[in-house]
Amino acid sequence: MSTNTSQSAWNRYRSIPIVYRIGAAFVLGSLVGLIVGEPATRLQPLGDLFIRLLSMIVIPIVVFTLIMGVRELAPSTLGKVGGQVVALYAITSIIAVSIGLAIANLIDPGAGLTLTEAEFDTAEAPNIVEVFLGIVPENPIGAMAAGEVLPTIFFALVFGLALTIIREESHDETVHNGIDSIFNIMEAGAEALFKIVWGVMEYGVIGVFALMASVFGQAGADALVPFALLIVALAIAVTIHIAVVYLGGIIMLLTHQSPIAFLAGSKEAMITALSIRSSSGTLPVTMSNADENLRINEGVYGFSLPLGATINMDGTAMYQGVAAIFAANLVGVSLSIGEQITVVAIAVLASIGSAGVPGTGLIMLTLVLTQLGLPLEVVGFVAGVDPILDRMRTMTNITGDLAVATVVGHWNGAVDFGAGVWNGTVGEAATSD
């Protein structure tokens, strides 16, 4: 009987989404730290184990997911429309992380809260030239062994693209089979790593509880303000990016259409993304909005939206910029221009292999912090408020997907601006060819 009761309790516990369990751990750990005080810092080793587990998966995640992700970027697959879509996704992601960095530099989230136990690599910050040269590894295996994220990303992308090009150009069946086998191995490896990530995040409930108890046990109630500023900084950055880049830049400037009409046509997808926190899970609603409301031809949105759910992570990229400044403030340092450019590069390049599922931003954040030598404890801290942050990130990603699909459809005569939300009617079958 006791075994059945324990199993039933475990199943009920597991039925609660992991992000909410981590959120509860964040709250409970904070309360324990505030109530118990200094003795709560003895829980720190349990939090340190969580950080070590995160460190363990950083480089394997980069290699497997990026090589797997570039399969969809073969030149023949992309074509004219695909090239425009990928270029816009890259440009908007660069702008997004830049906005995130700018807002974070102004608001300074994390200032006033110091991680006295955290270690920071105090090596002299690289200049801009060194940042760009440092992208290319002299020894890829050595870069992986040293945990150098940006060179590893570069090599994984180049190697993956080389495989896709050879697969298209070669007429040797043996070569084709070999490359397909490599991609299959990468896909299997990525799936295995996602399973490991699941296990790490399961333990993360304990790890986050311990980290928060230790932080609040040491800093007291003063630690609340930096977390509130982190949320405010991302909210402001998201608002600016949607209003200026998507509505002002893409919809008004490039398509000469009403941003109000665009929002009316995209609202179901935006609300769904805000609710379920998954670009991939929102995809059916996004495609329905593109077809019925925005009247984009299926030949455009059928390619750009699924691809966007995988590689267009404007909200996530923006979050990396905000979180990087937050992490730097926690250890009392300032990020140089070169280091902030590094954040931009990692956020944009790593988004290619990121899955459009809840919690992706936390995995990407480990890449940024590892490359900058900032403490990974930050991942545990922000995990508690990540359900709030992730909703904003996902809504931004989805809005960007639809904005890019609209302008690419406009450039290729594949959107009907005389129907749907553009002339005040929705819900009728799309008629554009």
Instruction: Quote the CA–CA distance of 205 and 419 in Å, as a whole number.
Output: 49
What 8-state DSSP symbol labels residue 289?
A: I
Examine residue 343 and state whether it is found in any structural domain, yes or no: yes
Examine residue 431 and state whether it is found in any structural domain, yes or no: no
Predicted confidence band of residue 429 (pLDDT cuts 50, 70, 90)? very low
Examine residue 433 and state whether it is found in any structural domain, yes or no: no
In the numeric block, the tokens 């298209």 are attached to: 168
End-to-end Cα distance, the chain: 64
Q: How many CB atoms lie within 10 A of CB 104?
A: 29
Examine residue 12 and state whether it is found in any structural domain, yes or no: no
| Each residue's pLDDT tens digit, 31-72 | 898 888 888 888 888 888 887 887 788 788 878 877 877 776
Pseudo-torsion of CA 206, 207, 208, 213, nearest 10°? 90
Which CATH number is 130's domain given? 1.10.3860.10
Instruction: Quote the CA–CA distance of 27 and 299 in Å, as a whole number.
Output: 47
Interior/surface letters 322-360, b for 16+ CB within 10 angstroms, e for the rest:
bbbbbbbbbbebebeebbbbbbbbbbbbbbbbbbbebbb
pLDDT given for residue 431 in this prediction:
39
Which of helix, strand or coil describes residue 118?
A: coil
Mean pLDDT of the chain: 82
Read off the pLDDT of each residue in 205-220 and give the average, rounded to a whole number: 81
Q: What is the pTM of this model?
A: 0.74
- Residue 198 to residues 22, 194, 273, 363, Cα–Cα distance (Å): 12, 6, 21, 11
Instruction: Quote the CA–CA distance of 263 and 406 in Å, as a whole number.
Output: 12
Q: In the predicted model, is pLDDT for residue 333 greater than 90?
A: no
pLDDT given for residue 425 in this prediction:
60
- What is the residue type of 46? L
| Each residue's pLDDT tens digit, 72-104 | 666 665 667 778 888 899 899 999 999 999 999
| Each residue's pLDDT tens digit, 307-331 | 787 778 888 889 889 989 998 888 8
Read off the pLDDT of each residue in 244-257 and give the average, rounded to a whole number: 95
Q: How many CB atoms lie within 10 A of CB 9?
A: 10
Structure tokens at 413: 């005569």
Kindly report the backbone phi and psi dihedral angles of residue 296, in degrees, each rounded to the nearest multiple of 5, phi listed first: -90, 140
Per the structure, the complete domain to which residue 284 belongs is given by 19-36+43-423
Beta bridge partners of 327: none
Are 368 and 351 within 8 A, CB to CB? Answer: no
- What is the residue type of 360? T
Examine residue 5 and state whether it is found in any structural domain, yes or no: no
Examine residue 86 and state whether it is found in any structural domain, yes or no: yes
Domain tally for the chain?
1
Examine residue 30 and state whether it is found in any structural domain, yes or no: yes
| Each residue's pLDDT tens digit, 19-30 | 678 778 888 988
Read off the pLDDT of each residue in 261-275 and give the average, rounded to a whole number: 89
Read off the pLDDT of each residue in 369-375 and give the average, rounded to a whole number: 83
Are 230 and 110 within 8 A, CB to CB? Answer: yes
pLDDT given for residue 197 in this prediction:
79
Q: In the predicted model, is pLDDT for residue 184 greater than 50?
A: yes
pLDDT given for residue 219 in this prediction:
65
Examine residue 382 and state whether it is found in any structural domain, yes or no: yes
